Amino acid sequence: ISNAWKTTPIKWYPIPALLGAIVLVGIQARRNYVADRQGRGKIVDENGKVVTMSGPWTVYVLGALPLNTISRIWGWANNLTLPVWFRPFGFRLYSRIFGCNLDEMKDEDLTHYRSLGEFFYRELKDNARPIADAPLVSPADGKVLHCGSIQGRRVEQVKGVTYSLDALLGLTSDPQGIETSAKPDSDSDHQITDDRQFANVNGIEYSLERLIGDERAGSQIPRGWTKLVSYRWWKSWVRSENKTGIPAGGKGKHDSIRDAHETDDEDAGVPTPDTPEMIGKYANVAYEMGSGALPPILQRHSPGHEGIGSGNKLFFCVIYLAPGDYHRFHSPTSWVVERRRHFRGELYSVSPYVASRLPNLFVLNERVALLGRWRHGFFSMIPVGATNVGSIRINFDKALRTNVRQQRRLAGTYSEASYSLASKLLGGQPLQSGEEMGGFLLG
């Protein structure tokens, strides 16, 4: 034995890198699976049930990869400045592979794009995308994955695969986990220049009628719409309906509004909308009465946006942007964005292949939910990130930072910002149909 130990030659063989990677990914997949089974994630659906990743084994392998880190490295690599001589060749090759139309670019000189990231976020010529005269137009170039009406508060990702509307928009998140920043963009505090006109940051004036798309805008929306007006509207509505059985509230979060602007005799017998549940309850009633646009103070607290107007339904549409597509998105209608919710999450691929195999994909991925209203009521637009395009940019929200490295991330939490200062008249950021809103960046 001693002789064999001393004389037998030892020959080392390298373990194939692929085999090593597979083993590591397998271990991580197993850890993720166990964590999901234990309900560590806090994304919940409309029934309060924790939403976790599920699917075939390939999904767990995908989930084991450090997708957020890969996405950030991908973004860094694609923002490296390329040599000028290489740019036309490289970008033409990319265009040929992914089917980009170079003729519709605003700047056709390919040497002006310093990196693939800049080329990816290219602008199009003016009028390259005519905006149809329709209530709802496409916000982006892409493929319609699915569209239809929402049944039972669930949205269909692809045929037969659904996810919770509440989880998508953060309507039933764990209150302990909600991180509220509420930092409106100071640059968006536009000035109202006229009774029916107001200017955006570029000095372009909007017509109220066109923004709201409703003839009521000029007559029924009072000038200088403020929280004071909102509260007075609430009081007058309660008085006119002679509501009984409404519990008189104590010192609530909205009492500062009342204290600042009202006298005691005006308040006699008028309950204060203290709790979100109470406000939401009467917001729904007001919707049913067809009282038109609700004051922002009521809309904000309407639980789950359940105040669907009489004769209305909730609809949805999912549009997938392929790698070669124009990656800026535009407003799909004339509407007012009241707030945004930034959900940090994973960055799974959102290709139709993965979307059809990974339930809750759009709920698990990092996304920005823009919530507001249009002429028919509630309206929302949710850009969802992916591995190769993890960063989402919103033009009128300079504070938004997506796909950033974080030490600790609680699943199901979100940060929220209000755009109420963007236009005090409308209570949010107004957008016209076809107006550029932002886009997706590489990595």
Half-sphere exposure of 239 (CA within 13 A, CB side): 11
Using CB atoms within 10 Å of the CB of residue 2, give its burial: 0 to 12 exposed, 13 to 18 middle, 19+ buried. exposed
Quick check: 132 binds other proteins (CB under 8 A)?
Answer: yes
User: Judged by CB, which is closer to other proteins: 142, or 271?
Assistant: 142
Closest distance to other proteins from the beta carbon of 243 (Å)? 25
Interacting span for other proteins (CB under 8 A) from 23-31, 154-162, 206-214, 411-419: 154-162
What b-and-e string marks burial along 351-388, b requiring 16 or more CB atoms within 10 Å of the CB? beebbbebbbbbbbbbbbbbbbbbbbbbbbbbbbbbbb
Q: Residues 34, 77, 93, 134: which binds other proteins (CB under 8 A)?
A: 134
Residues between 292 and 321 with contacts to other proteins, criterion CB under 8 A: 305, 308-309, 311-321
Residue 364 phi/psi, 5-degree rounding, is -85, -30
Separation of alpha carbons 335 and 342, rounded Å: 20
For 308, the 3-state DSSP assignment is coil
What does the alpha-carbon distance between residue 401 and residue 166 come to, in Å, rounded to a whole number? Answer: 23
When asked if residue 168 is in the footprint of other proteins (CB under 8 A), the reply is yes
Residue (254 or 367) nearer to other proteins, CB:
367
130 binds other proteins (CB under 8 A): yes
Contact with other proteins (CB under 8 A): which of 148, 218, 224, 247? 148
DSSP letter assigned to residue 192: B
Nearest residue (CB) to other proteins, 94 versus 320:
320
Min dist. Cβ of residue 404 to other proteins (A)? 17
- φ, ψ dihedrals at 121, nearest 5°: -95, 30
> Cβ closer to other proteins: 208 or 370?
370
Is 131 near other proteins (CB under 8 A)?
yes
Instruction: Decide: helix, strand or coil at residue 62.
Output: helix
Using CB under 8 A as the binding criterion, the count of chain residues that bind other proteins stands at: 63
Alpha-carbon gap, residue 94 to 125, rounded angstroms: 20
Position among 200, 284, 380, 403 found at the interface with other proteins (CB under 8 A): 380
Binder among 119, 206, 343, 378 for other proteins (CB under 8 A): 378
Q: Closest CB to other proteins among 254 and 295?
A: 295
Measured from the CB atom, the residue of 29 and 145 that comes closer to other proteins is: 145
135 lines the binding site for other proteins (CB under 8 A):
yes
Q: Of 91, 113, 206, 440, which lies in the binding site for other proteins, with binding defined by CB under 8 A?
A: 440
> Based on the number of CB atoms within 10 Å of its own CB, is 97 exposed (0-12), middle (13-18) or buried (19 or more)?
exposed
Spatial distance between the Cα atoms of 116 and 442, rounded to a whole number of angstroms: 8
Residue 414 lies near other proteins (rule: CB under 8 A): no
- Enter the tokens of residue 312: 């209305």
The window from 15-23, 254-262, 322-330, 417-425 that contacts other proteins (CB under 8 A) reads 322-330
Rounded to whole angstroms, how far apart are CA atoms 134 and 150? 21
Q: Which is nearer to other proteins, 158 or 421 (CB)?
A: 158
Among 138, 207, 291, 395, interactor with other proteins by CB under 8 A? 138
Name the residue among 224, 373, 350, 201 with its Cα closest to residue 293: 373
**Which residues lie closer than 8 Å to 372 by C-beta, 6 or more apart?**
335, 336, 337, 338, 339, 378, 379, 380, 428, 429
> Is 160 a binder of other proteins (CB under 8 A)?
no
Provide the minimum distance between the beta carbon of 113 and other proteins in the complex, in angstroms, as a whole number.
Answer: 20
Candidate list 382, 394, 400, 411; residue touching other proteins; CB under 8 A: 382
Q: Where does this chain bind other proteins (CB under 8 A)?
A: 129-132, 134-148, 150, 155, 158-159, 165, 168-169, 305, 308-309, 311-321, 326-327, 329-330, 332, 350, 355, 362, 374, 376-386, 389, 434, 440
